[in-house]
Amino acid sequence: MNLVMFDIDGTLTATTDIDEGCYVQAVEAVLNIDNIDTDLTHYTHVTDEGIAVEIIERHRGRKATEKELLDLRHYFVGLIEEHILDYPADLHPIEGAGEMMADLSRRTDCAVSLATGGWQESAILKIRAAGLDIEDSPMATSNDAISREDIMALSAERACDRYNVDCYDSVVYVGDGMWDLRAAHAMGYHFVGVAEGSRASQMRKEGANHIVPDFANREGFIGILETLWADQP
């Protein structure tokens, strides 16, 4: 059996901009830190927890406290909830994501899991708001670990437990960021990028051979998966 592991923001849900705006607002309100660096490639660990830890180290010159991180998470999740209530149409799935995930769930040759750098509470909110029926999938988040590699490893472990297998013949990670690509390579996973334009070009420069703009062409995306399953790393 093969495992297909998905990122969430920008991969399954069109929530990247909403996420960034709420995160910046939460940092300003809770930590009283303005003008944070929003270029995620400048952070060691591109996860909600990892970015928060690094922001505090940069601006305060010390390690983050558990209370600071917990307060930031709660405030951020509250902002996401408010945005969903005020602007529900803003949160929607990447084109074709719902149908594609339903197609995969009917197959017997693969399992599906989620591995996101976001916090679990906000991830579930966004999944529900986007109308994706996937929140019961095995999931690992920034609540569990600070690095994407550790989050991916835990997602795979939980998928093994859920589907009662010792290991998978292959793992394909599907993500939209350069950090997703790099983490997948570090883990020895296949990678499929969800990107267009300059971001897609950058992914290709770093060795991504399979990139889709969205999941509108479900047959094409599943064809990529089948090709990767046949080409074990």
Q: What is the mean pLDDT of residues 2-12?
A: 97
The pLDDT of residue 231 is: 79
Yes or no: say if 208 and 39 are a contact pair by the CB < 8 Å rule. Answer: no
Find residue 175's DSSP bridge partners: 193
Phi, psi of 91 (to 5 degrees): -100, 110
Q: pLDDT by residue (tens digit) across 82-102?
A: 999 999 999 999 999 999 999
**Coil/strand/helix, residue 9:** strand
* Element housing 171 (H / E): strand 170-175
| pLDDT score of 232 more than 80 | no
| pLDDT score of 36 more than 90 | yes
Residue showing tokens 């769930």: 105
Q: pLDDT by residue (tens digit) across 41-54?
A: 999 999 999 999 99
Give one word for 207, left, alpha or beta, with left for phi > 0 and alpha for psi -120 to 50.
Answer: left
Percent of the chain whose pLDDT exceeds 90: 97
| pLDDT score of 12 more than 90 | yes
Yes or no: say if 119 and 69 are a contact pair by the CB < 8 Å rule. Answer: no
Reported confidence tier of residue 9, pLDDT bands at 50, 70, 90 = very high
| pLDDT score of 233 more than 80 | no
Q: Which residues, 6 or more positions from 43, have their beta carbon under 8 angstroms from its beta carbon?
A: 37, 50, 51, 54
| pLDDT score of 17 more than 60 | yes
| pLDDT score of 6 more than 80 | yes
Q: pLDDT by residue (tens digit) across 178-195?
A: 999 999 999 999 999 999
Burial environment of residue 17 by CB neighbours within 10 A (0 to 12, 13 to 18, 19 or more): exposed
Q: pLDDT by residue (tens digit) across 97-139?
A: 999 999 999 999 999 999 999 999 999 999 999 999 998 899 9
Find residue 139's DSSP bridge partners: 114
Please give the model's pTM, rounded to 2 decimal places: 0.95
The pLDDT of residue 135 is: 85
Yes or no: say if 30 and 84 are a contact pair by the CB < 8 Å rule. Answer: no
Query: Whole-number mean pLDDT of the chain?
Result: 96
Token pair belonging to 132: 């994706």
Token pair belonging to 199: 């971001």
Yes or no: say if 28 and 99 are a contact pair by the CB < 8 Å rule. Answer: no
